[in-house]
A and B are shown apart, each in its own frame.
Chain A
C-alpha cells in the first residue's frame, strides 16, 4: 500500500517555462514532506522540504505547496532549465518513527 503516490511518470517542459510536479499522499500523520532529485547513475539528492504545518516553502527557483485538505503537494520550478532534467521523488516523513515513504518518481525533461 503506497502511502505516497506520483501519478505522472513523466513530464516534458520547455526551457524557461514552469514545471509542476504533483504528489498525493494518504497518511495524514506525516510530519514533513520532501522532494529529492535523482540523476542517472547517482543517488537521490535532497531538494526542498516542507513541514506539515506550513502550506508553502520556497528556495530559489523551487517552491513546494502543501494542500492538507486534499492531501496533495506540488513542486514548482520556475524558470525550468535543462539541468533540471532528472527524476523527482516526493516523500513523506513520520518523524517519531524515523520512516520515510517515497513515491515512484516523475521523470522531468526540460527541452532547450
Chain B
C-alpha cells in the first residue's frame, strides 16, 4: 500500500529535550516536505527536499532541522524544542517538481512541548 508513515503519532516532551519525528514514504517520490498545522493558520511549510541531499527552507524553518540521506526518509529534528513548537506536524511527498500539486500526506504527529 502506497503511504507516508510518520512516527511518533503523539509525543509529549519538555523544553530543550532533543527529539526527532521520522517520515518514510514507499512511493519512490523525490519531493518531500514538512508542515505544521496551527489553529487559524492552516498548514505552513517548514522544510522541503527535492531529492537526496537537497533540502531548502520553507516559511517557518526556525528551530527545526532536516536531513535527506535516503530517498524514502525525511526526518524532522527539533534540537531544543520550545513550547511554541507545540503543534500538529505533517510530512508529505510527491513526484518530482510537484506536478500539479498532488501531495501525499502522512497521518500527522501531534507534539506537545511543556
In the bound complex, residues from chain A placing their C-beta under 8 Å from that of B43 are 44, 89, 91, 100, 102
Residues of B within 8 A of A44 (CB): 43, 90, 103, 105
A 44-101 contacts with B by CB, 8 A: 44-46, 49, 51, 89, 91, 93, 95, 98-101
A57 to chain B minimum Cβ distance, whole angstroms, is 10
Q: How far is the CA of A44 from the CA of B48 in the complex (A)?
A: 17
Cβ-neighbour of A45 out of B44, B97, B105 (below 8 A): B105
A28 at the interface (CB under 8 A from B): no
B residues neighboring A (CB under 8 Å): 4, 31, 33, 35, 40-45, 48, 50, 56, 58-59, 90, 92, 97-98, 100-108
Q: Which residues of A are in contact with B by a Cβ distance under 8 Å?
A: 2, 4, 6, 32-34, 36, 41-46, 49, 51, 89, 91, 93, 95, 98-105
